[in-house]
Amino acid sequence: MGNVETVFKGNAERLKRRVPAGELTTPGRFAKERDRIFRRSWILMAKEYEIPNKGDYVARPMPMLDLSVLIVRGADGKVRGFHNICTHRGNKLVPDGKGNLPHFNCRFHGWAFHNDGRLAVVTDEGQFRDLDKSLLDMRAIDTEVWNGHVFMYFGEGPHETVREWLGPMFDQYDGYFEQHKMINSRIVDVRCNWNLAINAFMEGYHTLYIHAKSVPDYQGGPSNPERHRPFMEMFDRNIRYSAPSNPNHKQTRAETLAWKYGRQALPAFDGDMTGMPPGINPARAKNWAFDVVQFYPNTVMILGNSFHIDLSFWPIDENNTRLTGANYMYPAKNLAERLSQDFVLSRGRFVVREDLSTLEAQHAALKSGALTHFQLSQQETALQHHYRVAADILGE
């Protein structure tokens, strides 16, 4: 019995099928990743929908770099990023969380900053001799917005723009994300290295096995029993692939009900691709289920016809990772559609739990020294790519 043959596109040079992995869980490797990968990449830090109005802000940690980051929509409507610190003696300006403020006021000695970062007030200013206020605006972080996604760059310039960083992907998703509304979000702490955690969401080889009970036949079927991805495309840093749906999937009763009242989110595409931007199902593969895109280094998005999911992996230390993410779906017009969406969400929760269930064991295997390499198949090309990109940046 045949399988779909994966069509590969892009830079497959120097990919290794046997990837050294023993070092991943060491503090030394972690320090290198911190200083050279996470300070030299555009990192997804927030979404525009979190700060829709002028003066809205979100303050959140960037744990790997021990930073608190402030993302603000200024009085001029522009989104900017700052270190969440006062330029007097470094007190934190606002607690982590969300809000709306015309000014950021420091509790320590009362300095104030406009929400575009300019210094507004130095209290008892006369006591500061020869004060050069131009040195005292809030510390900016390079911030760019792409299709509603707020990316930040934590290293020193010069560096690439987001357009350069995303390459051909930059123009290929216009109009896609804003069709969906955030309907729930998650935070999960996992006791494993971040590379292992993100890798669990970067291949479909596992679906036949670890998801055998939860979603037994969403993918695969007689024409593609091993569930090969129809299409994979490698860019300089990012990678994307399309996942196959099973045209012979047998609907369960719950699904029949859910798809009666709402759009069929999974397993199969329930409409045509007309109007979808070129980045979605880029090869226009038949029996398409959804795409998986890694925004290197630490975000994976799952992009479907009526939903999308994002998952970001925040390294805490070499042994611990925080996963944050959200589900987005078409806006429900009525309660029936909302219930149909809840069905998708509850199924998704189960699947993600399975995805996370092997991570502590994998981590322990590396820590013990008993496993020194990952032997990777073509269906795990995104992992080969992930480690090739890291090796390039780390100069290995």
- Closer Cβ to ligand FES, 76 or 124, answer by number: 124
d(CA 293, CA 298): 11
C-alpha torsion 275→281→287→293, nearest 10: -140
Cβ contact 242:281 at 8 Å: yes
Which residues bind to Fe ion, rule: CB under 5 A?
355
Residue 84 beta carbon to ligand FES: minimum distance, rounded to whole angstroms:
12
Residue 355 binds which entry of ligand FES, Fe ion, none, CB below 5-8 Å type-dependent: Fe ion
Helix, strand, coil % over all residues of the chain, rounded to 5: 25, 30, 45
- Closer Cβ to ligand FES, 45 or 86, answer by number: 86
Among 91, 184, 319, 378, binds ligand FES (CB under 6 A): 91
Residue 140 beta carbon to ligand FES: minimum distance, rounded to whole angstroms:
17
Structure tokens belonging to residue 145: 């917005």
Q: Scanning residues 48 to 87, which ones bind ligand FES (CB under 6 A)?
A: 86
CA distances to 117, 140, 153 from 87, in Å:
11, 11, 20
Residue 87 beta carbon to ligand FES: minimum distance, rounded to whole angstroms:
8
Burial 209-237 (b: 16+ CB within 10 A, else e): eebeebbeebbbbeebeebbbbbbbbbbb
- Closer Cβ to ligand FES, 54 or 92, answer by number: 92
Residue 128 beta carbon to ligand FES: minimum distance, rounded to whole angstroms:
11
Residue 111 binds which entry of ligand FES, Fe ion, none, CB below 5-8 Å type-dependent: ligand FES
- Closer Cβ to ligand FES, 43 or 106, answer by number: 106
Structure tokens belonging to residue 131: 């004060």
Q: Which helix (H) or strand (E) holds 83?
A: strand 79-83
| Strand pairing category for 373-375 and 231-234 | unpaired
- Closer Cβ to ligand FES, 121 or 254, answer by number: 121
Q: Scanning residues 100 to 129, which ones bind ligand FES (CB under 6 A)?
A: 106, 108-111
Closest CA to 293 of 182, 394, 212, 176: 176
Residue 326 beta carbon to Fe ion: minimum distance, rounded to whole angstroms:
17
Number of residues engaging ligand FES in binding (CB under 6 A): 9
Residue 387 binds which entry of Fe ion, ligand FES, none, CB below 5-8 Å type-dependent: none
Classified as helix, coil or strand, 286 is coil
Residue 359 binds which entry of Fe ion, ligand FES, none, CB below 5-8 Å type-dependent: none
Residue 113 beta carbon to ligand FES: minimum distance, rounded to whole angstroms:
10
Q: At a CB cut-off of 8 Å and minimum separation 6, what does 348 contact? A: 309, 327
In the bound state, the residue with its beta carbon closest to Fe ion is 355
Residues that bind ligand FES (CB under 6 A): 86, 88-89, 91, 106, 108-111
